Structure 1
Amino acid sequence: MPVVESLICKEADGKLSFGNYILGTKSKVEDFGHDGDVYKVKTFKEITKLEKNSAFVYESVPGSTVMGFETTPNLTTFELYGFGDTQITIGLEEDTEYEVYVDDVSIGGMKTNLSGKLIFSVELSEKGTKVLIKKR
């Protein structure tokens, strides 16, 4: 069952991993430095949330574990672990269209709202779910 024991860490390839969907109590790490940015993660079984420089980046309800999180202006990729139907919210560019792929299958084009949030649901398990979000 993949979880990030330290709640957030930098992987050998430079990507971030964060979250622990099996925690029974709320836990957080603040002031985690990575590539000149400061991250904050809050996580437990009911929610996982990531902020970068005090701005929203990621949220899942219920909680999840995110492995290999990487985002560029045109592409966001990561692998998710958790339990059951999970709502994912990603902070991206506002009022922009993206194509979302779950396990290499397109679930369609989606447009962010005026605050730049993209919302979709996935069925999570301990085997992992790959997510790729590509700017159109």
Structure 2
Amino acid sequence: MPVVEELIRAEQDGTISFGNYTLGQKAKKSDFEYEGDIYKVKTFYEITKLERNDMFVYESVPGTVAEHFKVSDEGVEFLVEGAKDAQITVQLEDDTDYEVYVDGAAVGSMKTNMSGKLSVSVELEEGTAVTVKAVKRV
């Protein structure tokens, strides 16, 4: 999975892709308009961060590339790649239970905190994309 050279882009399937963990210095792209929202991405080898309308959406430490990132009422799903294992935090509904899957395997049920953040550690290897999915439990 290649890095996103333009830092953020819209995909034909209605998702977005963003991030470039190969950069040695911070790079950012602001004012990326998609489906009526304004996105900003900051990325390099240490961190990748995405905001929508000046609100937190995604963060990874160290930096990653996220492809086909889609948030819905049911949760979030995306492909992620990085040079090494990463801690990924995504914004979801406050105080809600989610079932989390990494590459199709259930890694457990997690509850978002009062601010709606859910964090998951993902084992990554450069050149290999991993699917991350969090589905709201009913």
Q: TM (normalized to structure 1)?
A: 0.98
The one-letter code sitting in structure 2 at the alignment partner of 1:127 is T
Q: Match of 1:62?
A: 62
Give 1:105 shift. 0.2
Aligned residues: 136
Paired position in structure 1 for 2:133: 132
Residue segments in structure 1 that go unaligned for 5+ positions in a row: none
Is the counterpart of residue 93 in structure 1 residue 127 in structure 2? Answer: no
In structure 1, the residue matched to 2:43 is: 43
CA distance in 1, matches of 2:24, 2:50: 18
Distance 1:133 1:84 in 2: 21
1:7 Cα deviation after fit: 0.1
Alignment root-mean-square deviation, CA: 0.8
Partner of 1:73: 73
Q: Is 1:98–1:109's contact at 8 Å kept on the other side of the alignment? A: yes
Find runs of 4+ consecutive structure 1 residues off by over 6 angstroms: none
Measured in 2, the distance between the counterparts of 1:17 and 1:81 equals 11
Residue equivalent to 2:114: 114
The answer to whether the 8 Å contact 2:89/2:117 transfers is yes
Q: Offset at 1:120?
A: 1.1
Q: Secondary structure of the equivalent of 1:78?
A: strand
Distance (whole Å) between structure 2 residues aligned to residue 100 and residue 83 of structure 1: 22
Amino acid at match of 2:102: V
State the match for 1:13 in structure 2. 13
CA–CA separation in structure 2 for the residues paired with 1:21 and 1:77: 19
Distance 1:131 1:9 in 2: 19
Cα distance in 1 between the residues matched to 2:66 and 2:52: 15
Alpha-carbon distance between aligned partners in 2 of 1:59 and 1:123, rounded to the nearest angstrom: 16
Q: How far apart are 1:13 and its partner, in Å? A: 1.2
Contact preservation (8 Å) 2:75, 2:92: no
Identity %: 57
Query: Where do 5+ consecutive residues of structure 2 fail to align?
Result: none
